[in-house]
Amino acid sequence: MDKMTGSPAPWHLWAVGILSLAWNGFGAFDYLMTNMRNEAYLAAFPPEMITMVDEFPVWIVAAWAVGVWVGLAGSVLLLLRKRYAVHAFGLSILGLVGTTGYMLGLDIPDSLKTPGSNAINLMIWIVAVFLLLYAIRMHRAGVLR
């Protein structure tokens, strides 16, 4: 038993923490490569998508940054067993709300409306909500301090 929290870390905390670190790490990588205009990375995307990203207002880029970077921080905090993981995952979802709300209002080209892109967007939401609920559960169980 951990003397600081009163509850030992369950095995699944490490599994969820490491998987979330990889997931959110990729989100941060995508953000960096896109905003730094990495030609090799962007070559995989259709030109319409690059044009759309280029037209993002500053506030949406900021919301995107909050979503990915605070989500990554949440993963680190979860692995460190800090209760602030709950706050980080909650803030990450606020960034996701901003970006999703903005994207719903856009006239997205048909070439970008694919089942694959819809599945990715749905998966992002599922993982984000799961991580928040998981962190809340671990906090209530006394695993996060």
32 located within any domain: yes
135 located within any domain: yes
37 located within any domain: yes
2 located within any domain: no
3 located within any domain: no
* Cα 15 from Cα 10, distance rounded (Å): 9
91 located within any domain: yes
Buried b (16+ CB within 10 A) or exposed e, 32-51: eebeeeeeeeeeeeeeebee
41 located within any domain: yes
pLDDT at 5 (0 to 100)? 46
pLDDT tens figures, 75-122: 999 999 999 999 999 999 999 999 999 999 988 888 888 899 999 999
pLDDT tens figures, 113-137: 889 999 999 999 999 999 999 999 9
Split into its structural domains, the chain has a count of 1
Residue of 92, 46, 88, 43 whose CA lies nearest to 67: 92
pLDDT at 140 (0 to 100)? 96
Residue of 106, 73, 102 whose CA lies nearest to 90: 73
Q: Which domain holds residue 78?
A: 11-140
pLDDT at 95 (0 to 100)? 98
Helix axes 11-35, 71-79, angle to 10 degrees: 150
- Is the pLDDT assigned to residue 22 strictly greater than 90? yes
